[in-house]
Amino acid sequence: MFFIYKNKSVNNIRRKFALHFENVKRVFLPPAPSKGGYTNARNTVVSPFGGGWGEDMRHHKSTGFKPRAFVMALMCLLTCSLAVAQPGNDGLTQEEIDVTKTFDAVLKDAKKYSTSPALPEGLSQENRNSVFNLPPRLLELDYEAPAIKPIPMKREAGQAARLYWGKIGYGIPNQPYVDFRLNNGPSDWLDFNLQFRHHSANNDGNVQYQRFGNTDGVIDGTYYTERSLVAIGGRLGFDLDRHHFFGSSETVDFTREALFQRFLTAFGELRLANSEPTVNDLNYWLKGDFHATGDNYQAREYRVGFNLGAEKWIDKNRLGVEIDNHYRYFSDDNDSITTQQTNNVLAFQPYFVLNASPFRLKAGAYLGFDGGDFVPYPDIEASVAILEGKASLFAGWTGEIQQAQFREIGIYNPYIKSVLALENTRVRNLYGGVKGKFDKLNVEARATQKDVRNLPMYLTDYTDDRRRFDILYDSVATIFALNGVVDFELLKNINLSFSGTYNIYGSDAPHWHLPTLESNIGAKYNYNDQISLKAELYTEGGIPYLTQEGAEEIRTPLLDLNLGGTYRLNDNFSLFLDLNNLFASNYQRWNRYPQLGLNFVGGVIFKY
């Protein structure tokens, strides 16, 4: 029997036949091998309905039953009947087929990229001399920066980094420059860094005996225990600074060796702290340090001490205590009992920090012991966030004992005498200000009133033919200081910065060689990650000094303009050039000791 479908396409007939064949197969055919079946002893899949499909179907031949012919005949009957009984608008049955399948998303393996950050250029281990600006002079301003506590942070996996970084150059007048740094690269258990630096200049051809040299090296390492619970670290290094008293008396004919001064310091530290947050949210740290300093005139200083503390987090608040103790021994060239100076400073600093947004309050105390004197100070600071957290107002009342050190004095003024009376300085600060970050502008303004006991001042000793400096102390001094810091991104590749301090002394008495005004103005420009330029203007003024006739004079203000640039050749090599003191100023930060005139240093930077 044949059914003729008028106006029907062959494709539609095939579609209907395929659909009903699938339905028939679901009813009459056992399921394919799957979780619903099982295998018999001959590894033949057996249908859950009973019997096997495949080789086990051969037993139907003995019964005369032909399942394949039966199934084909039944499918033809069902197809023809449904096609006649349910015609659609075009004579075909209207049906919808929904195909549902479980979607298992599979992510491809991600390709990980590791960055290769370049080491910063010219970072110093000590904030004492500028690498690129000659000669060494006071460039950085002393702000009451908040103390940085070793709050632990979880260590991330090591990233690819430059293992070697170096900067080698030469300049006029006769100034070689070398800076080399090495690290151990990515590691989960060790951080190791080594640095060696040398910078010297010889301007003897223009100013007799005007020369200096700075050489230093340091090894620093930190070991992280197996579970990264404790970090144990240490540092060992040296500083060798060489100078000449070229401002000596004109009436005495000194040899260069007689005017030579050398400061040699060996220093080290050992530190231990938790490197991961503890179960009880308790942070702890311990650091022991020492230094031994000697000069060319047999002055010697030894200082050893420790700093330890613990801090407990209570929700967002912190409760802690810090203990600091340092002992200092100093002796001059006589090395007699009368010239030996010893001192010990011990300080306990308990504190509590309350964070209740937008308010923050630190309440604590500085309980100091200077020799046999008990010296207490408050340690209080309060702040409140304003302008939706973009800025904050702050105020504080703090104090501390600053232990006098021959090493620090020699760094600040290398033309100091070797026979000194060292007195500790006690400082109490009352301050307030505002700081904030607005888009591309960072700003901080602060006003501070300092009450200082034993403020060190520096006076030329004209009885010394080398014209070295002695220290005088202002027993009670009051200083009102205005500090400001601004950093502004003018354009995408142009950054401007300013920092400045203006000191107003509470008495009319001269504060010898202490500046009234200090400021730094800088600009940086980067082009296409290949060329970087910088300009820096240093100003300093209001420094009183004593003439040989005994009169008080004020130094002419300093205007020191420096330019520098770097050109990147490739990922491993760059060229640099620094031009210093473009105004060729003979400014004397220390009386009778002018700075270098116009000078420059150029060379190559490499990193691997």
Mean pLDDT of 483-508: 94
For 596, which DSSP code?
P
Q: Are 448 and 478 in contact (CB under 8 A)?
A: no
CATH superfamily of 164-607: TonB-dependent receptor, beta-barrel domain (2.40.170.20)
Please indicate whether residue 567 or residue 146 has the higher confidence score (pLDDT): 567
Residue-wise pLDDT for 2-57, tens only, equals 333 334 444 444 444 444 444 434 433 444 444 444 344 333 333 333 443 333 43
**Other C-beta atoms within 10 Å of 482: how many?**
15
Please give the mean pLDDT across all residues of the chain. 81
What pLDDT is recorded for position 369? 97
Domain boundaries, the chain: 10-85, 164-607
Burial 357-393 (b: 16+ CB within 10 A, else e): eeebebebebbbbbeeeebebebebbbeeeeeeebbe
Which band of pLDDT confidence, cut at 50, 70 and 90, is reported for residue 523?
very high
Tens of pLDDT, residue by residue over 218-228, are 999 999 987 76
Per mean pLDDT, which of 11-15, 64-68, 536-540 is the most reliable?
536-540
Please give the biggest Cα pair distance in the chain: 140
From the centroid of its chain, how far is CA 36? 63
Q: Flag whether pLDDT at 522 surpasses 60.
A: yes
Is residue 530 within 8 A of residue 568, CB to CB? The reply is yes
Average pLDDT over residues 404-421: 95
| Among 445, 425, 413, residue whose Cα is nearest residue 514 | 413
Q: Looking at the whole model, is its pTM more than 0.75?
A: no
Mean pLDDT computed over 581-590: 94
- Lowest-confidence range among 75-79, 286-290, 449-453? 75-79
pLDDT of 350 above 50: yes
What's the rounded Cα separation, in Å, for the pair 112 and 448? 50
Report the pLDDT value the prediction gives residue 337, as an integer from 0 to 100: 61
Distance CA 209, CA 202 (A): 8
pLDDT at position 409 over 90 = yes
Instruction: Give yes or no for residue 87 having a pLDDT over 70.
Output: no
Confidence check: pLDDT of 419 > 60: yes
User: 21-25, 105-109, 599-603 — which one is most confidently predicted on average?
Assistant: 599-603
Most confident listed range (75-89, 122-136, 336-350, 385-399): 385-399
Q: What is the pLDDT of residue 162?
A: 77
pLDDT at 372 over 90: no
Check: CB of residue 441 under 8 Å from CB of residue 490.
no
